Amino acid sequence: MHKLIPRFLVRWLVCSLGLWIAAGLLGNGAISLDSKFRTVIIAGLVLAIVNLIIKPIIILASLPAILVSLGLFMIVINGFMVYLASRFYHPLHVTNFWAAIFAGMVIGLVNYLVTAILEERPQQ
């Protein structure tokens, strides 16, 4: 239990950072987040909660598609989570599903990099 809260806080930070980077890369059209720090943080919180609650259910429901595509369908699921978060929190506006998929890929890349940096390496 004592490790769950720090892990959720890291996920929240990663989601916020990934959304901010994706909004910067896509520019004005596809994802719009006003530049207020509070909006980015709340959007990251909403995305982290959606990933915590809804994503495992969606993964189980789409397990055959994930297996057939050798895991590539997870990109679509990540995009769907971003799109769903934008429906729950209106200051995060995603214009179309392709923008959400791109944002999901950016967030996944940021998550990979943060995990690689924070992961404990075995002592030699």
Cα 86 versus chain centre, distance: 11
pLDDT grade for 46, boundaries at 50, 70 and 90: very high
C-alpha–C-alpha distance, residues 101 and 105, integer Å: 6
Sign of the Cα torsion 53, 12, 76, 82 reads positive
Domain residues of the chain, as ranges? Answer: 4-118
**What does the pLDDT read at residue 26?**
80
Most confident of 23-27, 51-55, 90-94, 119-123: 51-55
CB distance 119 to 7 below 8 Å: no
Contacts of residue 82, defined as CB under 8 A and 6 or more positions apart, other chains included, come to: 19, 47, 94, 100, 101, 103, 104, 107
**What does the pLDDT read at residue 36?**
78
pLDDT grade for 121, boundaries at 50, 70 and 90: low
Task: Tell me the two tokens of residue 80.
Answer: 């769907």
